[in-house]
Structure 1
Amino acid sequence: MKIFSFRGYRQSVFCSFFCITAINLLPSVAWGQQAITVQGKIYDNLSSLPGVNITVKGTAVQTISNYDGSYIIKTTTKDTLVFSMMGYAKKEIAIQGRNTINVAMVEEATALQEVKINAGYYSVKEKERTGSIARMTSKDIEKQPVANVLATMQGRMAGVEVTQDSGAPGGTFQIKIRGQNSLRADGNQPLYIIDGVSYSSETIGSINTSGMMPTMTSPLNSINPSDIESIEILKDADATAIYGSRGANGVVLMTTKKGKSGKTVFSVNVSKGVASITKKLDLMNTQEYLAMRAQAFANDGITTYPDYAYDINGTWDQNCYTDWQEELIGGTAEINNLQASVSGGSKNTQYLLSGNTRSETTVYPKAFKYKKSAAHFSMNHAADDNRFKLNFSANYTAQNNNQPATDLTAVSRTLAPNAPALYDANGNLNWENSTWDNPLALLESEFLSKIKDFNANTVLSYNVLPNLQLKTSLGYTDLRSNESNTQPSTMYNPAYGLGSEISGISNNITSRTSWIAEPQINWNWNLGKAKIETLLGTTFQSQTTNRLFQSGFGFSSNSLIHDLASANLKTIDLSDETVYKYQAVFARINYNYDSRYILNITARRDGSSRFGPGKQFANFGAIGAAWVFSEEEFLQGNNILSFGKLRTSYGTTGNDQIGDYQFLDTYVSSGNTYNGTIGLQPIRLFNPEFGWETNKKFEVALETGFFQDRIFLTSAYYNNRSTNQLVGIPLPGTTGFQTLQGNLDATVQNTGLEFTLATKNVTGNDFSWSTNFNISFNRNKLLSYPGLETSSYANTYVVGQSVNIVKLYHYTGFNPVTNLYEFEDVNNDGQITSLADRQTIANLSPKYFGGVQNNFRYKNLQLDFLFHFVKQESFGYMPGVPGTAVNQLSEVSNQQLPYTSGANGAVISAYYRYGLSDAALQDASFVRLKNVSLTYDIPLKAKSLKCQLYFQGQNLLTFTSYNSGDPEFKFSGYLPPLRVFTTGVKVTL
């Protein structure tokens, strides 16, 4: 047997060498004959798209698009390029001799269903989620010139209602997810989670120092929008029950930006903007105002004007007119913003470091400023075998807010139009011989706030086995707040002869630190077509809050007003420390059969220090199910329905938003001295019997995609019931206490419908257009309230009605004989009384709300705009009794109204009843062009350099029939939201 032949071996080697050489030479010849370089940019509907894989079809030649979406690849004139990326439809484009090919990638919902979204303790594929989760990304956040992250959500998410408390810099926002669950106004806040760390939303200010703000200072202002990568809103029981007692009002998950592997990327974003009020009220001019005043005195039978009626008795110039809205709140605020970042890393380690500074002035006629600076760092590391992973992120924010302590908005709308000039001939404040209080003097009183906030999180994970992971999340937060409200003597008329001995200051110092540790075990395994995921974890959390409220009065000089040691009289109004401790055990099991039938079960046992012995622990849980019916065989191959899922969930969550030590009998210093000792006085009665509020949630939803998901519709119905309400139960005055904290057997229900529609109207290489629409209908109802008729809330709530109602008189008309408004005497007792005759019910909750967003792209130019709409009722503007020295809407001069100078008590009483009647209600519905963003990517020869110019606008146009100010704003006496215009440039290298 012939085993080896050297000659044969030599021939074999030669043939092999020849073949290999020929194979390698053939492409070289082809390249040499027809080789070209193709370059271009890749976009989605919104912006440039990095990370797209570009392959020459049928070869191994490939590349990946850069961070700015650009790419370069060598190929031949007759080849075809294949563009692919997870979440986008694959594209094949024949080169046909072209050197430049720009590509618009189209989001493919079928592929997007495979993308995992953040559900808090775990991530889940969009296709396979059983819960209700709304999401927005940095693409939408970055296009809004706002300082508060909650502002970015307005009109963009179904079921999420966001309202603004003040248009002043540093103003706060309120958020409700699927309505109001608790009777307590402060019991409806959602749970905020930043990179896995719970973030307390409890106010850190004081009513004594909040000044011009209608609400106390919120810590949420510390969150820097430009650092946020995505926001997920968890709404139903399936999504929130794993958070137990903290998920009753929904969960807001915020994920900060992370670094990506690749070359080091530097980015600088600079913008400058201006802001002004959106709308001025149409008020009376001088002639209309004086005619009203003259008629009022005539109605009262007064022929000689009193000495104090300076506006009409000739003391003030009756031919003078000043638009006080323009003078006092009509200024232009300046906004400056600078953001810089550096990011990059290797396959194993990625990092990102960014810094931001933002400053805003005000529309008031004095230099006030709000400054916020932030730093963000993120690092991700994975071992070579990918078993050990470390994720670390930290955020630090410093705020310095200097604002007037008094909002001039109300003054600007009520001041007589012929009031004197603000300054005299020498440029000093004009007091016009002590005939008025100069409104600019109010600006001498200032609100100062300094807040420093640090938030850090570390996640350590180790894969013991391919399907078994040990994980620990560690978090720490530290917040320091120091705010003051000054009342210097310079805010008073110098003619009074008051010196700095009457000057005062109120000061609030708050510090809040917390830590959280959450060890977890994840175990997953497959059983044929079935896949099972399990999660078991625990939570240990502690939060300590220290508060010091103090005040000083009488200073030797106003320059010492911020030095409490210089005050002649010093008081400590409150000094306390509260500790909140929280423990929990949570679990999740998810069963998925063939990606069609999905069952998700979550459970949590919570323990909170806010309840007494025996009431500290409670159990919460939920079950969710989904059927992806588009995967069934009978729907395969159809050209219309590309995706379909039916899901439902039911479960319970809780609420412990009641504050610390509410079950104990607590004491404060009385401030009174007895035998040289300052005594204590009780402020709260002992009641260890109250426990958790419970919220039971049910939802059913249908998700459908049509025509390769170019049309995607989600419809959802929900029913939430909150029971065991934690409220202050009123007590008789003889007890010495106003309320007793306890559980009320009242039930609040929220039902609603939510619809979201996403369409891809045009998808082309040069032009694309997509639309997103959402609308929400929420109905709030008080189902039960035992003993309501005999309680102090009898005139506030009605069983079967919303908890946001107002009881009103029914207006029957104006009687020209008596010159009075008239109202229905409901009980026919011959008199109009508040308790008996205010029986007409007005529901102030929105009937529906939503938004429409459109995205256009033409080559390097992109346009994005959002319309926000709300259907609602609100009270009209009523500044004071017509005829008194208060300006009115100009339309009042054309109406038959009961004028009085203030001498007719019957007219005054009728006016205030009118303000509490159904006649004062107006349709406050509106459609607002909430946001506009226009960007242009400058084409540059240097492919490593990207330069983008942009324009952004906020609150640009409002369409409404409401004539009493801003229809979106809830506080008529405060500065409404501002219209903002911003231009900027973003450079990336």
Structure 2
Amino acid sequence: MTIKQSIITGTVSDAHGGLPGVTVSVKNKPVSTITNENGQFSIAAEVGDVLVFSYIGYAAVTVTVDSRRVYDVIMQEDATTLKEVTVNAGYYTVKDKELTGSISKITSKELEKQPVTNVLAAMQGRMAGVDIIQDGGTAGGGFQIKIRGVNSLRADGNSPLYIIDGVPYSSESIGYASINSGMASPTSPLNSINPSDIESIEVLKDADATAIYGSRGANGVVLLTTKKGKVGRTKITVNATSGTGKATRFIDLMHTEQYLAMRKDGFAKDNITTYPASAYDVNGTWDQNRYTDWQKELLGGTAEFKNLNVSVSGGSAQTQYLLSGTTNTETAVIPGDFRYRKAAGHFSMNHAGEDNRFKLALSGGYTKQFNKQSTTDLTRLARNLAPNAPALYTADGELNWENNTFSNPLALLRGYSTVKTNDLIANVTLNYALTPKWEIKANMGYTNLDNHEQRLQPSSINNPSLNISSSSSLLYENVTTRESTIIEPQIRWADSFGKGKLDILVGGTAQKQTTGRLYTLGQGFASNSLITNMASANNKFVLASDVTEYKYQAFFGRVNYNYNDKYIVNLTGRRDGSSRFGPGKQFAYFGAAGAAWVFTNETSLKNSSWLSFGKLRASYGTTGNDQIGDYQYLNTYASSGQAYQGITGLEPTRLFNPEFGWEKSTKLEVALETGFLSDRIVLTTAFYRNRSSNQLVGVPLSGTTGFSSINANLDATVQNQGLEITVHTDNLRGKNLRWSTNVTIATARNKLISFPGLETSTYANTYVVGEPITIVKLYQYKGVNAQTGLFEFADLNGDGIINAAGDKHYVADLTPKYFGGFQNQLKYKNWDLDFLFQFVKQQTYNYTPGSANGTFFNQSTDYANVWQQSGDMAAYQMNTSGANSAAVTAFSRYTASDAIIVDGSYIRLKNIALTYTVPLKYKTMNCKLTVQGQNVLTFTNYKGGDPEFRATGFLPPLRVITGGVQLSF
């Protein structure tokens, strides 16, 4: 077929000269290019085509091609181009103003202002409806992410799908929690994604945006686009930062005088007049005038943060490249040589033929990590230790055991874990324009992960007087490998008919992922110096060993029709096939319809002086979920680990269920997007309702079957419903001073709609129909009995007995009522200030001590207000040394009652960055000086430590302050 085209050339400039990086495209055709460093371009077009010149921050320019072959275009800066921003929707891109679905976006500008090593940390508070919680302050730890709530009854079935440059990246755990026992969760696999390599992050939320991903889009999709080279001369950029991190918000604990008074009162209340020999804190064995703030002593150290990034980029109009390398080091706040190191390399190359019909995009990244952390988190120990406990070291610098009366916490740090991770991600995308209307594309990706973990438990963690030799030392070792390949051929056709534009995309997916795990235990070593070598163990045990294969194939399609830029309809669908389901259940269909009405393009509103943009959109559709693990429907067996007549046998681990099928989520959304005063104020309000059914859970079985449960679909329905509001304002836009604000706020309500047979199932004490699935069932606290001095609880079933089965029915919902962020960006001449406040309205657990007040555990200062005698109206029950079983039982019920559910709301200065651009004589050089802070200030009435972090036994997130310099030339 002959295409009647000519090569059109020209120059794009603004008031300052040639403008590089401008996108030049042929309207309604898959043909585009970008201007070079001098603003020059070359593109194939024919007479009658419309050339569109677009660049962020500038008003778009359109030119109709006539008989001329050279066009010079001048672009003007424009504050009303917010809706012109192009958004990545995965298999296609679309301008924000033409979106029919819900997609949130942040760019490298937000990422580079945060001293973080995990991309999820950079997303906190910046996207409406995206709730992210950091699992702890230990380097390399994980994050919890919920996009529009929890859809699955399974805790591991609520993760979103991550896509890096078109390549799916598995977020499944790569380690064992027992190895990283010093962390609140295993090592996050997303640590392999280097934040400094990311250009943008888009989060797809509603059915219109996620249905094209089918079974993988039920919990949302996170699209990460890496940085690419730009047209222009070779540019070298060096970015170096260094800083420190400190633990924050310690709990107010008793000092020695308060503590000893509490202890002595506990013995007195128990009618014990002679202190036991083991009561070292009060019987005179330990110095009763000594005081140590153990939180400061064990957790008050300073972590060091160092980061260096170097990149080289540039290219011509046809070929652009980028090569970067990053090193990162982070130490710990606890005593000892614990550190997290990461080195990453990233490469990207884009190439287009001279006529722009053929395009090649190649990107790859390799990350190498090493993480050494203690296998014991000292946080709970620091809160429980008596304030008059002995010093950590003797006069000669050895660990102090205080004549065998003190279990020195530093000895536990001799047990540590190491995690070595190597991760490769590569992607190749090929595009070819067959004609101006037809384009074929192939996306191919490969990932390879190698993870090696060790947990060392040497005999030296014990008191030397116990004479425990290295023959009792333990080594746990886990080796995980994961390899994935994917290929996605696609074909696209686009054309216009009068005032209408039609865009059709059809494609397929074929993916294969293989995961291998070997989890072993070594016991007994000739010396602790050999403990890192499994071959040196006297006894070796295989705790788990498997190789699993996941195969996935799909066909997908999209039809988009835009009439006169006013009425837009978007239809998406996917037919999925997953190896995780049994015969006859492996395939399923998912789809969605989205529609938008840009009512400001109506004649009556087109010239409105106050309403610059208005769009009403809605979507409805279904997505699925196959996050259940491999081979869950099959009869499976594992090595028994036991030998019979010299042969190690097999044991059954799972029952076959041929009815095992997909979870399904139905999503509905209605949204209104408006812009006022030339888009100086942009407001988006969205209402959504998601319902997930056919829940994949373990259905309980009778013990006589030999199995506790069988994996099956449960006829239960979970609903997530909420409201999201996003506001952007350009407050000031002067020559020297600019100020803009972004506000996000989201409300979310999770509810169990139906659960047939719940009352007779083993889930009866876990869920309640009509209540959120995140509830906790608790005793109902009535206060301290003025006569007995003990905590008292409601007898809800009236049987005269307080027990869990009959009386633990009070429901508390720990889902945040609303959450969001308040971001401001100010620029004055060469100064830039960016700060973000994150806020959450929620209930959470209060801090509770490790044992009843009066026992050998330090307590919060609140426990000074205790019952003393009959008639007292006190906040807390009587002290006890532990000998009063009634008081111990009452305290245990107290920690499982609504008394410990308190207001955990907070406002946090999550991030602040101050940047100064140094004026230089040479215009080709650039120098920026930056000071950054993360988790800087927290405003809250919560007394239980960090209100974001709910696992009180682990170190909360750190406050990090860094300074840096960026040079480019």
Deviation (angstroms), 1:857: 0.6
Match of 1:988 in 2: 968
Residue 853 of structure 2 contacts residue 859 of structure 2 at CA under 8 Å; is this kept in 1?
yes
1:94 maps to: none
User: Which residue, 679, 688, 691 being the options, matches 1:718?
Assistant: 688
CA distance in 2 between partners of 1:657 and 1:414 (Å): 39
User: 1:113 Cα deviation (Å)?
Assistant: 2.7
Equivalent of 1:418 in 372, 388, 408: 388
The equivalent residue for 1:706 is: 676
Give yes or no for the alignment of 1:740 onto 2:710.
yes
Match of 2:550 among 566, 574, 580: 580
Give the match's secondary structure for 1:866.
strand
Can you list the C-alpha shifts for 1:449-496, whole angstroms capped at 9, x where unaligned? 000000000000111111100100000000000001000011100000
Q: Secondary structure at the match of 1:538?
A: strand
Using the TM superposition, give the Cα deviation of residue 210 of structure 1 relative to its aligned residue in structure 2, in angstroms.
Answer: 1.8
- Provide the rounded CA distance (Å) in 2 between the counterparts of 1:816 and 1:433: 43
Pair 1:457-2:421 in alignment: no
SS at match of 1:683: strand
Letter in 1 for 2:835: F
What per-residue deviation string (whole Å, max 9, x for no partner) do you get for residues 120-177 of structure 1? 0011111111010000000000000000000001000000000001111111111100
Measure how far apart 1:112 and its partner are.
3.6
Q: Map 1:735-814 onto structure 2 (within 5 A).
A: 735-814=705-784
Please point out which of 655, 661, 666 is paired with 1:685.
655
Out of 81, 86, 94, the position equivalent to 2:55 is 86
**2:127 is the alignment partner of 1:147:** no
Counterpart of 2:229, as a letter, is G
Task: Select 2:94's aligned residue among 100, 104, 124.
Answer: 124
In terms of mean alpha carbon deviation, does 605-614 or 115-124 score higher? 115-124
Cα offsets for 1:573-605 (capped at 9, x unmatched): 111100000000001111110111000000100
- Which shows bigger deviation, 162-171 or 892-901? 892-901
Of the candidates 823, 848, 856, which is equivalent to residue 885 of structure 1? 856
Structure 1 letter corresponding to 2:272: I
User: For the Cα contact (< 8 Å) 1:295–1:899, is it kept in 2?
Assistant: yes
Aligned to 2:333: 363
Q: Which piece of structure 1 moves more, 376-385 or 732-741?
A: 732-741
Q: Give, in angstroms, the shift of residue 50 of structure 1.
A: 7.1
| Mean Cα deviation higher: 830-839 or 321-330 | 830-839
- Partner of 1:516, secondary structure, is strand
Code of the residue aligned with 1:693 in structure 2: it is: E
Note the C-alpha offset of 1:90: 5.8
**Deviations 1:928-971 (CA, angstroms, capped at 9, x unpaired):** 00000000000011111111000000001000000000000021
Contact 2:21 2:230 in 1 (8 A): no
Structure 1 unmatched ranges of 5 or more: 1-37, 43-48, 54-62, 70-83, 92-103
Q: Secondary structure at the match of 1:113?
A: helix
1:467 to 437, 441, 445: 437
2:919 pairs with 1:939: yes
Change (3 A) 1:627 1:706: same
Q: Which amino acid aligns with 1:489?
A: S
Using the TM superposition, give the Cα deviation of residue 218 of structure 1 relative to its aligned residue in structure 2, in angstroms: 2.4
Which residue of the partner structure matches residue 642 of structure 1?
Answer: 612
**Residue 669 (structure 1) aligns with:** 639
Q: Give me the TM-score of the superposition, normalised by structure 2.
A: 0.92
Q: Against the structure 1 CA distance between its residues 960 and 247, is the aligned structure 2 distance closer, same or farther, given a 3 Å change threshold?
A: same
Matched with 2:373 is 403
- Runs of 4 or more, structure 1, over 6 Å off, are 38-42, 63-67
In 2, Cα distance between the equivalents of 1:675 and 1:177? 54
SS at match of 1:495: helix
Shift of 1:52: 8.1
* Partner residue of 2:105 out of 135, 152, 156: 135
Match of 1:616 among 586, 600, 608: 586
Q: Check the 8 A contact 1:348/1:384 in 2, yes or no.
A: yes
* 1:495 alignment partner in structure 2: 465
Q: 2:418 matched to 1:438?
A: no
Match of 2:487 among 505, 511, 517: 517
> Who is 2:931 aligned against?
951
Query: Could you tell me how far apart the structure 2 residues matched to 1:474 and 1:233 are?
Result: 22
Q: Superposed, which structure 2 residues align to 1:512-551 within 5 Å? A: 512-551=482-521
- Name the residue aligned to 1:8: none
Moved more, 819-828 or 154-163: 819-828
- Count of residues in correspondence between the two structures: 910
Q: 1:208 deviation in Å?
A: 2.7
Aligned equivalents of 1:478 and 1:419: distance in 2? 49
Instruction: State the match for 2:309 in structure 1.
Output: 339
Contact 1:278–1:956 (8 Å) recurs in 2: no
1:108 to 79, 83, 91: 79
Distance verdict in 2 for CA 1:389–1:65, change over 3 Å? closer
Q: CA deviation at 1:40?
A: 8.0
CA distance in 1, matches of 2:641, 2:177: 20
- Which one of the candidate residues 782, 785, 788 is aligned to 1:818? 788
SS at match of 1:555: coil
Task: Give matches, 1:256-405, under 5 Å.
Answer: 256-405=226-375
Residues 1:40 and 1:410: Cα distance change in structure 2 (over 3 Å): farther
Q: Deviations over 1:166-192 (max 9, x none)?
A: 111111111100000000000000000
CA–CA distance in structure 1, aligned partners of residues 964 and 697 of structure 2 = 49
Q: Shift of residue 817 of structure 1?
A: 1.6
Structure 1 residue 287: Cα displacement: 0.5
TM-score, structure 1 normalization: 0.90
**Cα drift, residue 217 of structure 1:** 2.3
Distance 1:298 1:479 in 2: 60
Distance 1:775 1:560 in 2: 54
Please report how far the alpha carbon of residue 41 of structure 1 lies from its aligned counterpart in structure 2 after TM superposition.
12
> Which of 175, 178, 184 lines up with 1:208 in the alignment?
178
2:31 is matched with which residue?
none
What's 1:836 paired with? 806
Superposition pairs for residues 58-97 of structure 1, below 5 Å? 86-88=55-57
State the identity %. Answer: 60
State which structure, 1 or 2, has the greater radius of gyration over its C-alpha atoms. 1
| SS of match in other structure, 1:242 | helix
Cα drift, residue 882 of structure 1: 0.5
Find the counterpart in structure 1 of residue 898 from structure 2: 918
Residues 950-959 or 874-883, more deviating: 874-883
- Kindly indicate whether residue 166 of structure 2 is the aligned counterpart of residue 191 of structure 1: no
Matched residues in 2 for 1:544 and 1:725: separation?
26
SS at match of 2:403: helix
CA contact (8 A) 1:106 1:763 kept: no
Q: 1:564 Cα shift? A: 0.9
- Aligned to 1:919, what secondary structure does the other structure show? helix
**Structure 1 41/498 Cα, relative in aligned 2: closer, same or farther at 3 Å?**
farther
User: Can you give the 5+ residue segments of structure 2 that lack an aligned partner in the other structure?
Assistant: 1-13, 24-33, 40-52, 61-74, 868-876
Q: What SS is found at the alignment partner of 1:910?
A: helix
How big is the shift at 1:88? 2.7
Taking the aligned partners of 1:533 and 1:813, their CA distance within structure 2 comes to 66
1:900 corresponds to which of 870, 880, 896: 880
- 1:843-882 correspondence to structure 2 within 5 Å: 843-879=813-849, 880-882=851-853
CA shift for structure 1 position 107: 5.7
2:187 paired with 1:220: no
Aligned-residue Cα RMSD (Å) equals: 1.9
Residue 964 of structure 1 is matched in structure 2 by 944
